[in-house]
Structure 1
């Protein structure tokens, strides 16, 4: 892939609890300048859509722990889409998955998928799951009609790994997120099967793209 294609697969992200409108504008400016997408908190989506209408805009649902009610996630998804979000990254209810309530996890996802006409990425929070749970989470995402599975919120102890991306890519396109801080790390995720990268270090990733195109 060339640099433009690489950049278009990066979701430049700012989601911390102290994120200000100025932080969001900075990320949007950087995303537009480098040809990336942006992933921002839902409270800023309407402003961001007006500020940078040419930037593909993702936001989060049920973030960061996934413990919102299904009805709340549904309404949050609709609100984000109506305010201008192009994509939604929703967090599963990890506790219900661990309790074996896979049907409820699937329903939770399906309600968000059905609520909006935009792609839904399902964050399974791999650092909190064993191998069997990761597979069950991915299966729930598939059965619910999700478009992507995503590794992490960035708020658990651990982020994307090559091994998790390889496993998840057996089910759906993967967004690798959490701890991807360099061009080399991003390429390792792409080589493992990721279709998208989520990173607060989006600028560093793109600026690390080799001048020779990686040849």
Structure 2
């Protein structure tokens, strides 16, 4: 896969707790230069839309732990969409999933999906789940009408793995996120069935792509 093909499948990300508007603008500049999408904190969506209106822009809901009330997630989703976000990455409620309350997990996701006319990706936080829990989480996302499932927030120990992507791809398109720092990492996830890559190292990933290597 060459640089341009890969770039369109990368959500170039900045979501840390110290993220400033300057950080967001840097990520957007890199997204524009390389043809990537961007994923940023919800508080900066308005500035991002004004700064880079042509970049496909994702933001997060219920981030990073998924423990917001359903009403709060609904409000976040609507606000982000109305402000100009193109896609939403929402965190499911891991605690409720682990307690076996799958119906409430699905209902939580469904409220966000129904609230907006844009794609919703559901973050499972796979490092915290057993394989059975991952499958139940994917089933809840399917039941709720989500568009994607996503591996990780990047804030738990562990990130995307080939095995998790393969498992999740049985249910919905997958965004692999967490610990993907090179072209080889990204390609391993895509080969395993991922449709999208989430990474703060988008430029580094693209630097390893064949077209970039030939130009250097």
Provide the residue aligned with 1:52 in structure 2.
52
Provide the residue aligned with 2:113 in structure 1.
113
In 1, Cα distance between equivalents of 2:135 and 2:151: 12
> SS of the residue aligned with 1:59?
strand
> SS of the residue aligned with 2:196?
strand
In 2, Cα distance between equivalents of 1:66 and 1:29: 29
Shift of 1:210: 1.3
Provide the residue aligned with 1:74 in structure 2.
74
In 1, Cα distance between equivalents of 2:70 and 2:28: 30
Say if 2:35 is the partner of 1:35.
yes
> SS of the residue aligned with 1:149?
strand
Provide the residue aligned with 1:157 in structure 2.
157
TM-score normalised by structure 2 residue count: 0.97
Unpaired runs of 5+ residues, structure 2, are none
Kindly report which structure 2 residues correspond to 1:85-164, keeping only aligned pairs within 5 A, or say none.
85-164=85-164
Shift of 1:208: 1.1
Shift of 1:41: 0.1
> SS of the residue aligned with 1:67?
coil
In 1, Cα distance between equivalents of 2:27 and 2:84: 17
- Extract structure 1 runs of 4+ deviating beyond 6 A: none
Shift of 1:213: 8.5
In 1, Cα distance between equivalents of 2:46 and 2:133: 35
> SS of the residue aligned with 2:17?
coil
> SS of the residue aligned with 1:176?
strand
In 1, Cα distance between equivalents of 2:5 and 2:68: 35
Q: Does structure 1 retain, via aligned residues, the 8 Å contact 2:87–2:119?
A: yes
Q: Does structure 1 retain, via aligned residues, the 8 Å contact 2:2–2:210?
A: no
> SS of the residue aligned with 2:54?
coil
Note the aligned Cα RMSD (angstroms).
1.2
Provide the residue aligned with 2:180 in structure 1.
180
Provide the residue aligned with 1:168 in structure 2.
168
Shift of 1:212: 8.3
In 1, Cα distance between equivalents of 2:5 and 2:37: 12
Q: Does structure 2 retain, via aligned residues, the 8 Å contact 1:11–1:37?
A: yes
Aligned residues: 214
In 2, Cα distance between equivalents of 1:148 and 1:3: 23
In 1, Cα distance between equivalents of 2:162 and 2:11: 18
In 1, Cα distance between equivalents of 2:8 and 2:38: 10
TM-score normalised by structure 1 residue count: 0.98
Provide the residue aligned with 2:197 in structure 1.
197
